[in-house]
Amino acid sequence: MIFFRLLSRLPLRVLYGLSDFLYFLLLYVVRYRRDVVLENLRLSFPEKSAAEIQSIAKGFYRNLTDLIVETIKMPALSADELRRRVHFSNAELVKDQLSAGQAVIGMASHTSNWEWIPSASVLQGMPTDSVYKTLNNPFFENLMRSIRASFGAVPVPMNTLPRRMVAQKDVPRIVALVADQVPDIPEYAHWIDFLHRDTPFYPGTERLARSRNLPVFYTELRRVRRGYYEVTFTNIGQPPYDALPSGAILEKYRDLLEETIRKYPSDWLWSHKRWKHWRGKYAKVGAKI
């Protein structure tokens, strides 16, 4: 871990040089998940030419390597620098809820540099629980927990979230989830069309919102330029939920995420094996929300 601490102290301009090297290495030498990336892009954008697909893929690898070095850098960033690099266009939408004593759910995605957002939210006066999937490697699990705890953000392993919600039930904060992950148990997923394919989504996010009467905000992240980002919140669920059809929050999230991906196609995590499951494989399909 000392190596990563030392690496984090390098100026970002130096780390971006490392990112450029990693970009070349992953794309042309290692060819990291290149077949997965290209297949995902072709099936998600059937209207695009081969040249356009290749261009998006190259942009994806640049985004990925920037994400790696920016994540390493986060513990060594000053609060002022992180505030300067992550701009919230309409934070008052969430701040108003928090000021009223209300916790909210933030549904983010694997877009641009999602790792900076919980800490940047805390610096804007929005306490944040950052819910994540634990890593199998203990070293990298500890490393990522320490990085994600920067500036007072609280990293919360997904399997401990129910206990955390009970213990902190009256604490106003953002419960931030990267909601486009592959469900661990796809036979209990909520299946909807996403980028032209039948896709499983975690039903737990909507179930949590309904059971706790929590407002839900889609969290869009876009890169303004290298190392600078803008966050925009959109309310996609407001209690009471009695009259809202089951799955409506997830489908609003899907719609906005698709819109974001189509606007900034290189910035999504195309190496993610998002479609490794298919509905017909499972006898029990769908989840009650």
Per-residue pLDDT tens for 163-207? 999 999 889 999 999 999 988 888 889 999 999 999 999 999 999
Helix or strand (DSSP H, E) at 63 = helix 50-73
Question: pLDDT by residue (tens digit) across 88-133?
Answer: 999 999 999 999 999 999 999 999 999 999 999 999 999 999 999 9
Question: pLDDT by residue (tens digit) across 201-242?
Answer: 999 999 999 999 999 999 999 999 999 999 999 999 999 999
Question: What's the distance, CA 232 to chain centroid?
Answer: 13
Question: Residue 249: CB partners within 8 Å, gap ≥ 6?
Answer: 205, 206, 209, 216, 236, 237
Distance CA 254, CA 262 (A): 12
Please report, as a single letter, which amino acid is at residue 22: L
Please report, as a single letter, which amino acid is at residue 7: L
pLDDT value of position 75: 94
Share above pLDDT 70 across residues of the chain, in percent, rounded to a whole number: 98
Distance CA 208, CA 242 (A): 14
pLDDT value of position 267: 98
Distance CA 75, CA 1 (A): 12
Token pair 């705890």: residue: 149
Task: Grade residue 284 by pLDDT with cuts at 50, 70 and 90.
Answer: low
Distance CA 50, CA 191 (A): 29
DSSP for 203-239 reads: SHHHHHHHHHT--EEEEEEEEEETTEEEEEEEEEE-S
What is the torsional sign of CA 239, 241, 245, 251? positive
Distance CA 144, CA 54 (A): 31
Beta strands at 104-108 and 228-237: parallel, antiparallel or unpaired: unpaired
- Pair of tokens at residue 111: 């877009």
Contact 220, 256 (CB under 8 A): yes
**What b/e readout covers 27-64, taking b as 16+ CB neighbours within 10 angstroms?**
beeeeebeebbbebbeebbeeeeeeebeebbeebbbbb
Long-range contacts of 27-34, Cβ-Cβ distance < 8 Å, separation of 24 or more: 27/58, 27/61, 32/61, 32/271, 33/271
**What's the whole-model pTM score?**
0.94
pLDDT value of position 46: 97
Query: 142, 144, 143, 140: which is closest to 130 by C-alpha?
Result: 144
Mean pLDDT of 273-281: 83
